[in-house]
Structure 1
Amino acid sequence: MSDPVAQQPAEPSFEELAQRVDNAVAAMAQLEPKAREVAQELKDAIEAIHRAGLVTIVRRMRADDGARPVLFDLVDDPVVRLLLSLHGIIRPDPVTEANRVLQQVRPQLHDHGGDVTLVRIEDGTAYVRLHGACDGCSMSSVTLRNLVESALVENVAAVSAVEVLPNEPEPTLIAPESLFAPRLGNRDGRDGWVRAGRTTDVPASGLTTVSVTSPASGQELGVLVVNVADRLTAYRNECAHEALPLDGAVLDVDNGTLTCPWHGFCYDATNGECLSAPGAQLEQLPLRVEGDDIWVRVDR
């Protein structure tokens, strides 16, 4: 007699589910306005039902002495934590919450030619770097700094103070020496540069992975290319935690974050800095665009 459990199809992986969501969102964006409104309403309605059910489950498990430890274990699972965070059932970690707050004030900073980067949160203090018009001594820059400080202190419970760090040279998408190098043309491998696909391969506000061959060693290397606000950034396709591939990573364009699908490590999508474990970093690769071709430098 066959085992009915063994005959059940395997559960889809998190990466497969995330890809289905990405595909559906991309397809919805291509619909006619009226159809897109209907699809958005259906999406919102389904999410509202899911949230109501999840809230009921969490409340009953919290009220049950026997179920409460199971609930706490579940919340430690990165996929469950991500799901509950997306529905606003649990508060996000302070770094994610702070980045969300900064995203809300960023348009005002941009209007004045400035920007802000959250470096870390430690012992109640948010350490930030200010850029452009925010970084100076004028009354305008002081006003922008006060805007950042007020937003963080008033809206992030874990933050009671803000400290502005001096600016350092930021990672660049184009290596300085490449600005003066001859055009690459079809000379794949010149000075460690290899072709990593075309700009059309990277979806708007999305990511893609590609395998390239190191000219120096001949080894196959995985490359992750991320598109945030039409800005391309390339990384080695390895999480800084356990070097697992980031093919199924979750890209949150609004917050500018990239979350590893394996253990939930969260990174700044534009520079690879790990927001979950300060000090960790994705390996960023110099990137340049020649026509529609994307080139990355894998050998130094």
Structure 2
Amino acid sequence: MSSVHDEALDETHESDRWRQAGDRIEALLDAASAGGPVARERAEQLVREVVDLYGEALGRVLTIAARTPGLVDELARDELVSSVLLVSGLHPHDVETRVRTALDSVRPYLGSHGGDVELVDVSEDGVVRLRLLGSCHGCPSSAVTLQLAVEGAVQAAAPETAAIEVETDDREATPTPGVFTVDSLMSHVREDAAGNGTWLPAEEFADLAAGEVGGFTVGGLSMLVCRLGDELFAYRDRCPACGNSMAGTTMQRRAGGGLNDAVLRCPSCRAHYDVRRAGAGIEEGHLDPLPVLTRDGVLSVAVPAAVTG
């Protein structure tokens, strides 16, 4: 088990390393500026030459790969290969296809809260319009998911995107009283998760048994994680009613609720929160949900930038 865990950590560190390559290149270019504008210009020209060289090689790779059905699509699904193809202007898929693929990657999280996301259109000026569907559009996790998961996935798959606009499905029923809407929470979430937050590995969540609640600290943030069937739900470890930690809480079936209904009860003030409905309070308030997704094969949780700095 430990060797598998170590291998996953190595893969995560390697993934983080190439994701930060752009920042390192920019830092090196800035350092070259200390030698004056001529040194900076030569350094930038060197980067362009290397990109052009690898771009030419990648173009030939795609030409060869096209001879094998499905191979080009398989290459495009790899996050690192896809990003290099984008930089080189060689990505085989158009913006709409890449956005649809990105949305498919976050659907498991939205689905765990009874919701979905639909691509309305991509305008000629690069504006992506999305629509939140199902009960997802009326719960507090919608705003968090939008900022930390949906927008991040779309921007990574289609960096040329100019803006992302989100609408809710007016055909859906009015949200249950006490559950906040996307509009009422969006401004708060954007301030709280500026910079789209940070996805951090959280493979220890997978050790939770069905019906179990565990306390974890990831990226300096204390959180509660519960498993309801095959689904994982994560929240900040803070009761909004009394402000205390929820340490020691257990999942219970709501009175009169169905088999899959579950609530968390604050040990201090006895307030109850619906696990499946993104921590919505039975009496009032709501827990702060945190998106949990599998990214590059690694179970990860999104920690707001306001926490990680």
| TM-score range for the pair, normalised by the shorter chain length | 0.3 to 0.5
Higher share in helix? 2
